Structure 1
């Protein structure tokens, strides 16, 4: 598959997010890393569609996705088939940076944790868009979602910059057009399908990390 990317490849479509997160879970509820990464590629397109407003999160997400892609292509790729197998492999082989002096800042576990935290913010924001009304302020919706999720992991200066960025967000209708689904009713319906899938992947990952006490990796 060629690395060259056309403008169509960069066009966000909510349907693609729905499709990738549908593929994320195995029959026994393990999370396929390949499809998780694919889902994030689509979410990055969503962030990029909004221009520089979300640049501070988008750039970080892109770098984290690339680290995971490299692991999926590495000689140990078989250990990274699912998030569950990745966690077991890296913990068993002391590849996780459990303290700030750790020598594995690009471990899969730490890398995915950063995406995991951002996923909760996007889930909350998309859900608030789904339940919002025409006169809802997207800046408030996004700020509320951010403050309930990602904000606690960011230093004050980043939180301040984020708050200022949210003020520049377009209105609800613009967001619905970005989804490339159709009418507002169709967007709301598809968000209603996609958000539970995103939430299930999030909850399974959250429980796995909690089980192994790695929710607070530095």
Structure 2
């Protein structure tokens, strides 16, 4: 057998070279393209039934819905963690300045502010003393954690609400609480820092509205003790 015959019989000679070989489909791609159309339809129908069942159970079972949300949050956390690898740490956000008030004083200021507001939201909140108490607790927790001037994270705020006040809040709830505390501390809000004379007059008005004797000795609120 000469060299020509050996080249013709070798495996490499039987495989055509060129662009066709480069674009040859893999076994997985061939299997996908050659699937039975009926099988594809059954798989699509099964997936649709599974989605409907999950949606119905989520609406009927709050615990199941919370587990799904917790799973989504965990996946998002892991994705953010992967994306943050190699990136510089984001700068810490400054905390909103809060006045030196006790929990009772914070609730009193908020109540007085709501009584002076004619909005529908204020009317709803006036009828919910439990919400006012929750906001006052969030005020105390925020002020305690922001003593170093850094905005409290949702995790630390939720942990302090749990350990100090026995409040269990979800991440979305603690986010709203933090936003409300900072919103109430904006200019014109009940927890905006004001001169000592303004704070004293606000306390006097609140005490008069509640039918108690106004404290007119002009003392500033006692320092907050965490």
- State TM-score, norm by structure 1: 0.25
Q: Which has the higher contact order (CA 8 A, sep 6+)?
A: 1
- State TM-score, norm by structure 2: 0.25
Instruction: Report which of the two structures shows the higher radius of gyration computed on alpha carbons.
Output: 2
